[in-house]
Amino acid sequence: MGIKKVIIIIFIFLFQFSAPAQTTPDSTQKAVNYADSSLRIRNINPYFTLHVDSTLRYAFEINKDQSQYYWYLKNSPVGLKINKDNGVLTFKAEKSYFLSGKLKYDYEYKVKIGIQNLNNPDERIDTSFILLFYNTEIIPSKIKPTVTSTLYIEEGDTINFKLQCDNGSFPIEEITYFSNYQAKSLTPVAKCNDEFTWFAPFDFVKDGDKDRQKLLEIYFVGINKFSNRDTAIIHIYVKENINYPQRVMEFEKLKQDVMNYIVQLKSSFRVVDRKLKRTKKTRTGFDLGSAATGLGGTVFSSLPNDNQKTAGKILPSVGVALVPVKEATAPNVSSDQNTASLIRNSIKRLEYLIADNTIVGDRDPEILNKTKKLKDELKQMQIQLIDIPIADENLNSKELDEYFNNPKVNKKYRVKHK
């Protein structure tokens, strides 16, 4: 029991000693001020969502006297304002902003907001919030090509137009295209404002196409993020046109073929004409020999000598005997003369056709008709003279022209008027 009393006395002593220390204030301790000391916005909202037909009015508050501070916005979308004196944020959404493309739906606009002390520039706050617009009305997006829906072009022409987009609630994110005939754009087409460029090849219109033209239909399909589609159709009527560079090359090649054929015919004509000349010379020799024997027989028959008279009787028989020899050696074949005349007339006709169907310039509108006429005439001549042998000799066009245009030769084949 004595120990317990001692312990109780000690606790009582300690309690009495510590009680005055708790109630006695420390003269060196300063009073703590729990009022806000740094500038801050009390009611900052990090995220605003706003319907297109609604308005926004939100008053920001700070922990100090607002009359000494200035509010401002940075990077704000069209129509968003803040009162510089009291920090009231206002916005009235209008559909015209969205239809004109100045504002977008479902796009997070990061707006920077700040407040600054008018007297102390170092006392300021810069922060930000997100503003998003949404619309419950679905406005479809449209593809708007910069040309009319119907175009008329010719082969060899190039068309070029831009694919603009009239974006509604959800913008078009991807554009693809296809057509009823193969038509690949020379420039890439994948999104809005891309250009479609196409060159109409010269062989696009076929011979069996009606009215010598072909209808090309191109379908441009725009897709938004929800796979909703809009399609724009362009009808392109392509008319047949002349590929002048290629047609000129074809005409020149055909003209050269005709000239080569004329040279061959002139060579054949020279061979036939020389044959006729040799035949005529041989027959003339036989005729002169036959006439000489007949004349000699007459002369010898008038002489007084019997032997001479006998010779005069024999010589006419010799002249008569030369006739079958002449026909056997140099027969008078009228077909050779006709062949030479036919070849010569054909040459003259081809030369006239070449001179009459010469193309004028690089874009002669009659080049197709002239080419067809030359081609048809050449084919007809080749069929008509198919049996005429082509001379196998060294063809010198200059020598052949001199022979063909020789005055003596021309006189021989000149048409005689009665």
The 3-state secondary structure of 336-347, one letter per residue: HHHHHHHHHHHH
Task: Decide if pLDDT at 9 tops 90.
Answer: no
Residue 60's pLDDT is 92
Task: Decide if pLDDT at 22 tops 90.
Answer: no
Residue 21's pLDDT is 44
CATH fourth-level superfamily of 142-241: Immunoglobulins (2.60.40.10)
Q: What is the dihedral of CA 197, 177, 170, 164, to 10 degrees?
A: 20
Residue 266's pLDDT is 86
Residue 401's pLDDT is 82
**What residues pair up with 132 in beta bridges, in sequence order?**
49, 108
Measured at the CA of 286, the angle between CA 282 and CA 290, to 5 degrees, comes to: 170
Residue 7's pLDDT is 59
Query: Given pLDDT bands bounded at 50, 70 and 90, which one contains residue 284?
Result: low
Query: Given pLDDT bands bounded at 50, 70 and 90, which one contains residue 32?
Result: very low
Provide the residue ranges of all domains of the chain, joining segments of one domain with +: 47-134, 142-241, 245-412
Weakest mean pLDDT among 14-18, 54-58, 194-198: 14-18
Task: Decide if pLDDT at 226 tops 80.
Answer: yes
Token pair listed for 167? 């974006």
By the 8 A CB rule, do 242 and 362 touch? no
Task: Decide if pLDDT at 190 tops 70.
Answer: yes
Give percent above pLDDT 90 in the chain. Answer: 33
Residue 221's pLDDT is 96
Same fold, 47-134 and 142-241: yes
Task: Name residue 374's amino acid.
Answer: L
Q: Does domain 245-412 have CATH number 1.20.1270?
A: yes
CATH fourth-level superfamily of 47-134: Immunoglobulins (2.60.40.10)
Higher-pLDDT residue of 298, 94: 94
What's the pLDDT tens digit per position in 144-156? 999 999 999 999 8
Considering the chain, what is the average pLDDT of its residues? 80
Query: Given pLDDT bands bounded at 50, 70 and 90, which one contains residue 35?
Result: low
Weakest mean pLDDT among 242-256, 275-289, 379-393, 403-417: 275-289
